[in-house]
Amino acid sequence: MNEVLHTFSRLAPFIQEYIYHHNWSELRPVQIAACKVIFDTDAHLLVAAGTASGKTEAAFLPILTLLYENPPQTIGALYIGPIKALINDQFARLNDLLKEADIPVCHWHGDVSQSRKKQLLKNPKGILQITPESLESLLINKNNELMRLFGDLRFVIIDEVHAFMGSERGCQILCQLSRLQSLTQTQPRRIGLSATLGDYLMAEEWLGSGSDKLVITPEIEEVKRQIKLALEHFYVDGDGELRETNLRDAEEAEGRGERDGGGYEEYVFNLSKRRKCLIFANNKRQTESIIASLREIAVSEGLADIYHVHHGSISASLRQSAENAMREVDKPAVTAATLTLEVGVDIGHLERVIQLESPPSVASFLQRLGRSGRRGAAADMRFVCAEEKVSVEASLEEQIPWQLLQCIAIIQLYLEERWIEPIKPIKYPLSLLYHQTMSILAAGGEVSPAALAKQVLSLPSFSAIALEDFRLLLRYLIDINHIQLTEENKLIIGLAGEKVVRKFQFYAVFPDNEEYVVKHATTEIGSIFMPPPIGNQFALAGNAWEVLEVDFRKKIVLVKQVEGKASNFWRGGSGNIHTRILQRMRQVLQEDVEYSYLQKNALKRLLKVRELARNSGLDKQNILLLENNKCCIFPWMGTVAYRTLERLLNSCCRESLEIKSIGGVNPYFLTIKLGKDKFKYLYNEIVSLCEQRITAEDLLADAEAPEIQKYDRFIPHSILRKAFASDYLDMEELKQQVKKW
C-alpha cells in the first residue's frame, strides 16, 4: 500500500470523511510527515514548512485521531496562539472539521464571553485554544482546578513559534508548560509550527526545553512556488523649507537632465490599481500617508475608494473591516499595514504584495511574500524604495540609499542560501523572573523561601539565574514590600505586590504601550519609549535634548535643549538587524552584479552608489575622514555589535580622541566628531580596545541599569546590569567583526 493511502487509512473516520467531502485530492507532504511522527513515535514535533503548506491541519489531523480513539478524561489538547484573531480563525476551522465528531472545541481569550468560559470549566473536555495571557490567568485564578482541567492533557500545539522564541512571552509559555507538567506529573507532547525558522536546532531546543522528550523536525519537500520579484527606486522631495534648494541642487547634479522626483505614489497606485493587494510599510506613518495619496489619486480618476489602513493604533472594528474587505472574493481591495497583517490571520490570497522600503528581516520578507499568490499562481512581490533627494554637498553617509542596499541584501540572502535569521534565546529574562515568582505566589499561597527558589529556578527559562541572584531578588522584593515574610518564615504576596498582581494587566509579560512624555520645562515635546540615562542626549522633534530627570511613575522625562545633532535613543531588545544582512549589503556595493529583479531606476541608482563607493574608498575602508574632523565609521555589523561599538567609543575613548559627539540612528554608520588630528588614531584605538580584556559589563556607566522590560523596575540593579550586558551587548561579535576591517 502506498504511503499516502496508508496514512489516510490511519486517520479517524470523521476526518477521512471530511477530506473526502472537501475534495482534497491528496494529503500534503507536511501532513504525511506529521502523521508519521505523531502516530509512530512519542517525540515532540517541530513542523517547519512554508506558508500555506497546511501546517495546522498537519498537527490536528493525527492529534484528533488519537483523541478520538482514546478520549482523555480532561482537556486533551491545548493550542497556544499569539493573537486573538488567529485563535478565532483556527476556532472556526477546527469547528468545521469537528462537526461530525464528539470532540468539543473551546476558544478562550479576552473577547470570549464568560458563559463560554464557564461552560468549559463545567465540562473540561476536548481542545482548548488560548493565548499565553489567558493561560496565565487560569494558572493563577483556577489553581485549585488545574488537575480537573488538565490532568489528562496529551498535546500542546504552539502556533507561530518564531513569534514567541527570543521574547519573554515565549519564555512565559515554557514556564507555564513546566508548571502544568509538575502539577499533573505528565509530559504532554509538544508540536511547534512555523514557516520562517532560520535555525531548526535552536527551535528544537526551545520547543523541548523543560521536558526530556526528543524533538523531531521532519524534512519536508518544499512546495515549489514561482516567485515574481521586482524592485524599483524613486527620488522624493524632502519636506519643509529645504525642498526648493534640494530640487535645484538635484537638477544641477543631473546636468539639467530629466528630473526623477515624483512618480512614486503614481507607481504604487498603478501597481495596486483594481487589484487585491497588500502594502507593507515599516511604520504607522508610512501606511497612513501612502493610503491618503492612493485615495487622492483614485478620487481624481473617478475610481472607487478601496483603500484601508491596518496597524496597532487602528481600532479593532476598522481593522476587522479591512480584513473583511481583503477576504471578499474577486473584489479589489488595497490595505496598507505594518506587522499586524504579517502573522497567521487568514486574509485570503492576494494578487500582489507591495513592500515600501526594505523589509526589516529575511524572516519578515518571507512572511510577507507568503501572503501573495493564489493556489498555483506565482507569488508576486514588488519592492518600492523611495529616497529623499539630498544635495551633492551632503555628507557621504547621507548619499547612500541604505534601504535599497538592505532590500537587495535580504532578497539575495534568501535566493542564494535560503538563509533566515536564527533567533537567539534570552539568557536572563529578569522581568519574567519577577512575573513568574509573583504568579506562583499568587496562585499557590504561602511557601517557604527554599521551596519557592526551587520551584522558580527549576523553570526552564531561568536556567542561567544563579541561586545567589535569586536570593538577592527575594530580599529586594521583601524590602519593597512586594513579598512579605510571615512569622512562620513563609513567603506571601506583600501589600505593594498585591497592587501589581491584582491588576488585570498583570497577565501579560510585555509592557503596555505607554510612552514617556518628554517635557522641556512645562512644554511638551513629544514622547519616547525609554529615556536614556540622566546626562545622555537624544533627538526628538528635530532638536537635541539632554536628560535632566526621569519620573518613572508618572512616565515623564525632563530635559534641557543642547546644541548639535543627537542620536535617537535605541530601543532595547526588538528590531535587531542581523550582522549577515549588513555584510551582504557591503557585498552589494562591492560586487559587479546586476540583479535580475532590479527595475530601470533601481539599477541606475545602484550603479551610481557603487561608483560613489569606489571613489570615496567606502568599498574598502571602514573609517573615512569626511570634513572638519568629522569622520564616519561604517561598521557593517548588526544592531547588537553596533550598539556595543558605540558604547565602547563612548566609554573608552572620549578623552583620548577628544570626541565631541557620536551619532548614529541605525546600524549603517556612526559619525564622530574628533579633536584636531585625532583621526589617524581612531582605527588603532578601536583595534587595541578590542584586544584588551574589556567585557560588555565594563561598557555600562556606573549607575546605569537599563530598565527595558515590563517589570525590570523591580529588579536589583546589579542583576539588571548583568542581563543587559549579556542580552543586549556582544563584545565577542564586535571583536570578530573588527578583525575583518
Partner DNA sequence: GACCTGCTGCGGAATG
Q: Which residues bind DNA (CB under 7 A)?
A: 82-85, 109-111, 114, 131, 133-134, 137, 141, 167, 169, 282-285, 311-313, 338-340, 360, 504-508, 510-513, 515, 526-527, 529, 540, 568-571, 573-576, 665
Write out the DSSP string of 105-147. Answer: EEEESTTS-HHHHHHHHHS--EEEEE-HHHHHHHHHHTGGGHH
DSSP secondary structure string for all residues of 206-237: HHHTTS-S-EE----------EEEEEEEEEEP
Residue 419 or 529: the one with the smaller Cβ distance to DNA is 529
The SS3 assignment for 569 reads coil
Beta carbon nearer to DNA, 210 or 532: 532
**Shortest distance, CB of residue 170 to DNA, whole angstroms?**
10
Closest alpha carbon to 613 in 594, 628, 592, 630: 592
State the minimum distance, in angstroms, from the CB of residue 367 to DNA.
12
Q: Looking at residue 399, what DSSP letter applies?
A: G
Q: Phi and psi at residue 157, in whole multiples of 5°? A: -105, 125
DSSP 8-state class, residue 283: S
Burial class of residue 257 in the structure, from the number of CB atoms within 10 Å of its CB (0-12 exposed, 13-18 middle, 19+ buried):
exposed
What's the min distance (Å) between Cβ of 14 and DNA?
29
Interatomic CA distance for residues 70 and 450, integer angstroms? 40
Cβ nearer to DNA, comparing 263 with 511 = 511
Which one, 323 or 469, has the nearer CB to DNA? 323
Q: Based on CB atoms, which residue is closest to DNA, 513 or 684?
A: 513
Query: Could you tell me the smallest distance in angstroms from the CB atom of residue 428 to DNA?
Result: 19
Q: With respect to DNA, which residue has the nearer C-beta, 470 or 569?
A: 569
Largest CA distance in the chain: 87
User: Min. distance of Cβ 338 from DNA in angstroms?
Assistant: 4
Rg of the chain over CA atoms, in angstroms? 28
Distances (CA, A) of 513 to 407, 431, 518, 691, 709: 29, 16, 15, 41, 11
In sequence order, what are the residues at sequence separation of 6 or more whose Cβ sits closer than 8 angstroms to the Cβ of residue 6?
Answer: none
- Rounded to a whole number of angstroms, the minimum distance from the CB of residue 312 to DNA is 3
What is the nearest approach in angstroms of DNA to the Cβ of residue 281? 8
Sheet holding 379-388, edge to edge: 227-236, 379-388, 352-356, 276-280, 333-337, 307-310
Q: State the minimum distance, in angstroms, from the CB of residue 310 to DNA.
A: 8
Closest to DNA by CB, 309 vs 653, is 309
Q: 58 or 174, CB closer to DNA?
A: 174
What amino acid occupies position 108? W
CB of 289 to DNA, least distance (A): 12
- What is the C-alpha to C-alpha distance for residues 711 and 509, in angstroms, rounded to an integer? 8
Closer to DNA by CB, 24 or 510: give it.
510
